[in-house]
């Protein structure tokens, strides 16, 4: 067997797997909450793809390959968290807790 044939066969058997990199731009809320878990599961299922997550508002040298943005529909602009299967936790003083039963009650407080 020729040395060239052995080298060729070894290269085929032990070649490095080619990894494709994709840059994804997402909001701070997504990038710091549920999106990293989703991307980790995606990368596990797709071993040849790596997603580089970039948070909106951070400096970057190149344009991202993909961007997650919310549309102009009023229900999306108002608050996108319903898309994310998230809820809110209200933190307040103990004495105010009994006065908060609804969103309107919460909105009556000043920040």
pLDDT tens track for 58-76: 867 778 888 887 655 555 4
The mean of the pLDDT values for the chain is 76
| pLDDT (0 to 100) of residue 86 | 55
Residue-wise pLDDT tens digits, 77-100 = 555 555 555 555 566 777 887 888
pTM surpassing 0.85? Answer: no
Closest CA to 66 of 76, 58, 84, 54: 54
Residue-wise pLDDT tens digits, 32-55 = 888 899 999 999 999 889 999 998
**Parent domain of 101:** 3-107
Angstrom distance (rounded) from CA 77 to CA 71:
7
Q: In 10 A of CB 41, how many CB atoms? A: 10
- Decide if 45 contacts 1 (C-beta within 8 A): no
The domain tally of the chain equals 1
Helix (H) or strand (E) holding 3: helix 3-14
């Amino acid at each position: 067997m020729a040395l060239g044939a052995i080298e060729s066969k070894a290269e085929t058997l032990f070649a490095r797997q080619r990894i494709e990199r994709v840059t994804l731009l997402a909001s701070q809320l997504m990038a710091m909450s549920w999106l990293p878990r989703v991307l980790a599961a995606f990368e596990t299922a797709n071993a040849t793809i790596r997603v580089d997550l970039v948070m909106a508002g951070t400096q970057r040298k190149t344009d991202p390959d993909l961007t997650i943005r919310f549309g102009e529909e009023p229900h999306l602009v108002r608050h996108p968290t319903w898309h994310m299967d998230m809820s809110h936790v209200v933190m307040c003083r103990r004495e105010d807790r009994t006065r908060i039963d609804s969103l309107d009650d919460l909105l009556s407080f000043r920040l």
